[in-house]
């Protein structure tokens, strides 16, 4: 199967996904690399490793480091950041809407708005009212979109997408898939783009 | 206390430490940043988190990814690499010698030779014969150095250094410490150097 670009796998609760959500569009555009946005859920993957929350909560030292690291990186990149009062936030509804958005072409706009709400504005993205407001702010029919996102067909779409992540060997977010190569973490975004330019184009 | 440079905390068993061991000297020299080499043991830190081996062995997906990532990064950096047949190798003796070497000014040379033996030549660095050969190859008196490294005074030095790592909040390797800032992982080496130049000098 011909490789048509980079798959960008992200999870709405993930801090390092936030960095890539805010960076991938201009980097990929500058490099002329198409990006396919692939929302998925890390929860089921973490649970299969015996974790019932983020490893950043399970290992407090690592968690404390992560927040400082994110703060410094946002500062370097010029990305707004405010530490959420609750972590990780449940991104199930957002991921369902994002699946629908991906098939309709407005996934990047919606996703950026949700990540900003979570990591720059400390808003509760698990709350359907917040998601409705975000949808309205980007010109979508909030409650109608949510109803479609909650359809059994769309729920199945996200389930299948998460199963696809598992079958690709994905274990964290963000992950970039270029052909048969996996690149894990915001630090690998540039490497994934370079790989595509060197080996695929 | 005045900050005199970057502390480079590394563990001989650690694959990502290998990348930094091979890179830090010329990056720091180009930037005019002094480096203090700080060998320590991750084993006691991992055990206190409930791990009895490397997380790359505990989580096989992450492990498989790590080996591919290291292979690609070595290729990018031009660092020789051959996957060791045994991982992680016990770096206790090497770390003890490195502590002594650090106080005598030949830590970088010894450390690079041991990391190359482990990750480019698949040699068993836990074997005192291999460490003796490495010492001889860099002009040290092998068996005499090992005897001094195994003295109770020097063993205590490494124990204290590992305790210092814990007290700094270090949970993985490599870690770069610049004043009160921690930078974890080979990916943060450049960030640590930039931080020093921006905030310390």
For A20-53, how does the pLDDT look when each residue is reduced to its tens digit (9 = 90+)? 999 999 999 999 999 999 999 999 998 888 888 8
Whether residues B191 and A76 touch (CB distance < 8 A) is answered with: yes
Residues 44-73 of A with CB under 8 A from B: 49, 59, 61-62, 64-65, 68-69, 72
Tally the C-alpha atoms within 13 A of residue B103's C-alpha that lie toward its C-beta. Answer: 13
* Count of domains forming chain A: 1
Whether the pLDDT of residue B169 is over 90: the answer is yes
Q: Rounded to a whole number, what is the distance in Å from the CA of A39 to chain B's nearest CA?
A: 20
pLDDT value at residue A4: 85
pLDDT above 70 covers what percent of chain B? Answer: 100
Contacts of A45 by beta carbon, 8 Å cutoff, 6+ apart: A162, A165, A166, A170, A171
Length of chain B: 201
The two three-digit tokens of residue A13, written as one number: 């609760």
Predicted confidence (pLDDT) per residue in B49-86, tens digit: 888 888 898 889 999 999 999 999 999 999 999 999 99
Low-confidence ranges of chain A (pLDDT < 50): none
Position B3 scores a pLDDT of 78
A65–B184 CB contact, under 8 Å? yes
Instruction: Name the residue facing B171 among A61, A171, A187 (closest C-beta).
Output: A61
Q: Which residues of B touch A191 (CB under 8 A)?
A: 72, 76
Q: What is the pLDDT of residue A49?
A: 82
Across-strand partners of A10? A39
- Exposure string over B134-159, b if 16+ CB within 10 A, otherwise e: bbeeeebebeebbeebeeeebeebbe
SS3 B181: strand
Residue B157 pLDDT class (50, 70, 90 cuts): very high
* Higher pLDDT among residues A54 and B131, named by residue: B131
* Position A153 in a domain: yes
- Whether A155 is in a domain gets the answer yes
In a domain, B1, yes or no: no
Residue B69, token pair as written in the block: 């990532």
pLDDT interval class at B120 (50, 70, 90)? very high
Chain A residues whose beta carbon lies within 8 Å of the beta carbon of residue B59:
49, 171
Distance from CA of B82 to the nearest CA of A (A): 19
Instruction: Give the closest-approach CA distance of A136 to chain B in angstroms.
Output: 39
Cα A179 from Cα A190, distance rounded (Å): 16
CA distances for B139 relative to A59, B134, B145, B148, B150, angstroms: 43, 9, 11, 16, 19
Q: Is B191 on the interface with A (CB under 8 A)?
A: yes
Answer yes or no: is A1 within a domain.
no
> Of A61, A169, A184, A193, which to mutate for an interface test with B (greatest number of B Cβ within 10 Å)?
A61
Tell which residue, A75, A71, A81, has the closest CA to residue B198.
A75
Q: What CATH code is carried by the domain that includes residue A10? A: 3.40.30.10
Task: Establish if A128 belongs to a structural domain.
Answer: yes
Which residues of chain B neighbour A185 with C-beta distances below 8 Å?
A: 187
- Residue at token pair 């096989």: B60
Q: Is A177 on the interface with B (CB under 8 A)?
A: no
- Whether A19 maps to a domain, the answer reads yes
Q: Which range marks the domain in which residue B168 is found?
A: 6-200
> Residue B35: what are its φ and ψ, rounded to 5°?
-125, 130
Do residues B57 and B87 touch, judged by C-beta distance below 8 A?
yes
Are residues A69 and B184, on separate chains, in Cβ contact within 8 Å? yes
Look at residue A1 in the predicted model and tell me its pLDDT.
56
Is residue B1 over pLDDT 90? no
């Amino acid at each position: 199967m011909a490789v048509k670009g980079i798959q960008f796998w992200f999870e709405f609760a993930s801090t390092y996904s936030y960095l890539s959500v805010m960076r991938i569009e201009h980097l990929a555009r500058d490099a002329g690399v198409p990006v396919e946005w692939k929302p998925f859920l890390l929860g089921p993957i973490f649970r299969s490793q015996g974790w019932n929350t983020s490893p950043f909560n399970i290992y407090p030292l690592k968690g404390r480091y992560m927040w400082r690291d994110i703060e410094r990186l946002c500062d370097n990149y010029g990305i707004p950041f405010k530490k959420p009062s609750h972590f990780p936030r449940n991104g199930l509804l957002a991921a369902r809407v994002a699946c629908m958005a991906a098939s309709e072409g407005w996934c990047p706009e919606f996703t950026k708005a949700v990540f900003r709400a979570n990591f720059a504005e400390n808003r509760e993205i698990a709350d359907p009212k917040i998601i409705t407001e975000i949808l309205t702010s980007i010109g979508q029919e909030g409650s109608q979109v949510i109803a479609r996102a909650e359809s059994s067909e769309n729920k199945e779409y996200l389930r299948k997408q998460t199963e696809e992540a598992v079958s690709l060997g994905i274990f964290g977010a963000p992950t970039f898939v270029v052909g048969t190569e996996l690149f894990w973490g915001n630090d690998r975004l540039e490497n994934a783009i370079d790989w595509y330019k060197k080996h695929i184009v």
